[in-house]
Amino acid sequence: MKLNNVILKTTTQVVFFMIFLFSIHIFFAGHFSPGGGFVGGLLTASALVLLLLTYDLKTVQQLLPINYTTMTAIGLLLSLGTAATSAFLGDAFFKHYFDHFTLPLFGDTELHTAMLFDLGVYLVVVGVTMIIIQSIGGDE
Amino acid sequence: MTNFLLTPIILPFFTAILLMFAPKKVYYQRVVTLVSLILTTACAVYLIQTIHTEGIQVVTFGNWPEPFGITMVADMVAMLLVTTSVIVALFTVWYSFKSIGIEREKFFYYPGVLLMLTGVNGAFLTGDIFNLFVFFEVLLMASYLLSVLGGEKGQLRESIKYILVNVISSALFVITVAFLYSVVGTLNMADISVKIAELNQPGIITTIGVLFLIVFGLKAAIFPLFFWLPSAYAAPPVPVLALFGALLTKVGVYAITRTYTLFFVHDTGFTHTLLLVLSCLTILAGCIGALSTFNVKNIIIYNIVIAVGVILYGVAQMNEDGLMGAMFYIVHDMFIKAALFFLVGIMIVVTGTANLKKMGGIMRTYPTLAWTYLIAAFGLAGIPPLSGFIGKMLIVEGGLAAGNLWSSLWILLSSLIVLLSVIRIFIYGFWGEAKTLVPKESRTHYKQLLIPSMLLVLLTVAYGVGAEWITPYMQDAAEVLLHPSVYTDAVLKE
């Protein structure tokens, strides 16, 4: 018997974007309120897991053709690069810089290099979580 | 230039990341790993020279003031061990080209080795007790991968034990750090040392000292806590075993040395006597093990346990000779253990068995291997011009100077048993009637395995013969260990 998961699929199509946007929000909130790269990454991964639950592994891989090993490596590279930049600028390793910028739409915004480090953490968390789940779930 | 001391951590880490982009390209993996390790060795040797001329190098992450940021401290003790680790890793990678097998190489073997090296170097260089925990986890995670990689039945069984023991000891590490933090309120190692000196080490600090001995003793395999080591180390393939045997237990030994010379120096009557007794028992356990088995791998594995005991015996003396001897011996032991595992690995390749009773007469076909092994075996036992001599002699001198006559004699006696255990391999394996060897075509890579092994043995010989030139560096190291104020002043810049 073939089940028709029309309710699950329709709900997922809406809820996926809500979780994904919430994870981005959490990611950017990290500096001044609870959140950050780790939680943000886990939330994004959970949105992807919802996709995996609704559709099968192959469909999701076609939908998002991402090599998560490369993604993890890029995340590590980004974090290490951010930490090492200060060493090339003559400061101690891991020194982070920030300044205020006036951006259109956002107005006065404080931009930190710590955010780039967090982006690295975010990519590693998403990558590692998805590698674990895909390699347990898939049998190649 | 202040950040230069981080190169032995960052370079292997960066290379491991680069390797993750193309795990299936074996040629790329090999070349990049080799080049990066050669570069790291050059940086490490340069750093040793810098520390020798300019003193201890310190950098605190993010320009934070001293006890508040994470400090990385490169003193002579740490740097000698870092350099040794990098060189051992370099030779292991070279040896791996022909021995580890293409399947493992395609599945993140080299990133595993490099990340383990990152963790080992970080653990040696860090000046922050919680950061030490983090680097322990980095090296342990990588070692879990290396231990299970390949997925043979024995590897799966033993890595479960190995992971279980290490997870428990890591949890205990966190608990101990929590205790220490609740008493002294700081995590910076130099600051902890100063705070403990102010408190004059009350009973609770001594308790924490013993807890640290249990935690690091589980990693370093000291007497009642070495039970996991023999079987866990026998399972993975030979290059991984060489890496584990040379580096992993030594990180535990280093951590004991560091904490017992920097933190817990005010009640040595209790803590260091305990360390002394445990180190003697560790040697006893290792000796019994080394004589009990006919498996060539296991004989050398039990010799790791003996060496851990000897080094910690030197540390327990708390005088210049003892500590200098311990430094001499730990560097010697890292080299010679890697070399012995390489040679034993070749024996297993050419005979197809690890059982000594099934070997015999290898010398007729492979004289070079036999003589190289004999030199390495004499080096391990400490025959004078070779590398093991000077360290053990200083340790025994230190023991006698501290008035521990019987235990010092026990150290000397244990050398005989070490010699007996490794010479047994020589007598059974190389002498006697020739027994069947693996046919020639399946061991064409014998020479490519022998070259790195011979060079490493040559290095240990140079280390023993050139002890005169190395002594000033060892004196620097012993100076730091003997006077915690040298370390704390350098970090806290008082």
For B443-485, the pLDDT digits (tens) are 667 888 889 999 999 999 999 999 889 999 999 999 999 999 9
Min CA distance, B472 vs chain A (Å)?
30
CB B272 within 8 A of CB B316: yes
Which tokens in the block code for residue B386?
């070779």
CA–CA gap between residue B228 and residue A19 (Å, rounded) = 45
pLDDT at residue A140 greater than cutoff 60 = no
- Of the partner residues A72, A80, A93, the one whose CB lies closest to the CB of residue B61: A93
pLDDT tens digits, one per residue of B142-200: 999 999 998 889 999 999 999 999 999 999 999 999 999 999 999 999 999 999 999 88
Predicted ipTM?
A: 0.92
- Of the partner residues B20, B21, B62, the one whose CB lies closest to the CB of residue A94: B62
pTM above 0.90, yes or no: yes
Q: Which amino acid is at B271?
A: T
Q: List the beta bridge partners of residue B126.
A: B72
> What's the residue count for chain A?
140
CB B158 within 8 A of CB B147: yes
Tokens 């779930």, residue located: A137
Tokens 């993010």, residue located: B62
Report the residue of B1, B15, B19, B21 to disrupt the A interface, i.e. the one with the largest count of A CBs within 10 Å: B21
Report the residue of A68, A94, A135 to disrupt the B interface, i.e. the one with the largest count of B CBs within 10 Å: A94
Which residues of A fall within a CB distance of 8 Å from B14?
80
Which residues of B fall within a CB distance of 8 Å from A140?
none
Q: List the beta bridge partners of residue B59.
A: B72
Which residues of B fall within a CB distance of 8 Å from A86?
62
Q: For chain B, list residues with pLDDT below 70.
A: 1, 440-444, 494
Which residues of B fall within a CB distance of 8 Å from A94?
61-62, 70
pLDDT tens digits, one per residue of A7-17: 999 999 999 99
State whether B59 and A92 contact (CB < 8 Å). yes
CA–CA gap between residue B323 and residue B398 (Å, rounded) = 8
A interface toward B at CB cutoff 8 Å?
A: 69-70, 72-73, 76-77, 80, 84, 86-87, 91-96
What is the per-residue pLDDT for B268? 86
Min CA distance, B310 vs chain A (Å)?
38
Query: Is the backbone of residue B201 left (phi > 0), alpha (psi -120 to 50) or beta?
Result: left
